[in-house]
Amino acid sequence: MGLGFALTGELVARGWRVVGDARDAARLTRAVQSLRDPEAFVAIPGDVADPEHRRQLADAVAGEGRLDLIVNNASILGPSPQPPLAGYPIADLEHVFAVNAIAPLALLQLVMPLLERSGGRVINVSSDAAVEAYAGWGGYGSAKGALDQLTAVLAVEHHALRVYAFDPGDMATDLHRQAAPGEDISGLPSPDEVVPALMRLVTGDEPSGRHRAADLAQVAA
């Protein structure tokens, strides 16, 4: 499982009620059943690039009556192995931007009234590829770079909220395996190991902005 599931497990264990999604409905069902309290999770399977699915998520949140935190974690890598930008299929690039940058903003627009009412928090999961120029990472990295800028502007437009871009660093996840097929990534941190740093943004006093898991972990230590 990835960072979203690892964070969900921690939130549910702390007594949070969570509305969440995944593209694979069967995998989502299995994941929910493994939670400490499956009843604390409202599962809405679907793709965040789909406006109707985003509406379903927003309606589910509205039904709960309160929103303290939104975490935009859904990402797609694009073609694997990733092509150089000069040969990147534009239709694929548009979809990468739709999922990684446009969908988080579109969903946030739907739930912003509830979030502002509670003075809540926004966490957009970014990547080091958003700020570093890696050959072969131009599609994913530029989409995450756009997400970083959206996050920064939202932070200055909504002073009552805490708005974060979170860079988890390299992790042993399915997305990383897609990016580096055949590479041994067993030595990378698991998502569970990154969650304590992420929780500093969920419960701590860090100012709005871009935060790296490695930096947050040092502060926690």
> d(Cα 20, Cα 28) in Å, to the nearest integer?
9
Split into its structural domains, the chain has a count of 1
Judge whether 126 counts as a catalytic residue.
yes
Residue 44 covered by a domain: no
Catalytic residue among 126, 142, 164, 208: 126
- Domain assignment present for 158: yes
**Annotated catalytic residue: which of 75, 127, 142, 208?**
127
pLDDT tens-digit profile of 141-163?
Answer: 999 999 999 999 999 999 999 99
Residue 2 falls within a domain, yes or no?
no
CATH number at residue 118: 3.40.50.720
Q: Could you tell me the residue range of the domain that residue 160 belongs to?
A: 62-220
Residue 5 included in any domain: no
164 is catalytic: no
Tokens of 108: 């946030």
pLDDT at 80: 85
pTM to 2 decimals? 0.93
Query: Is 13 a member of any domain?
Result: no
Decide if 211 is inside a domain: yes
- pLDDT, one tens digit per residue, over 22-62 is 999 999 999 999 999 999 999 999 999 999 999 999 999 99
Active site annotation includes 134: no
Residue 190 catalytic?
no
Residue 184 falls inside a structural domain: yes
CB 38 within 8 A of CB 32: yes
Domain membership flag for residue 81 = yes
User: Which one from 75, 142, 144, 208 is the annotated catalytic residue?
Assistant: 144
- In order of 26, 121, 200, the CA distances from 5 in angstroms are 14, 19, 17
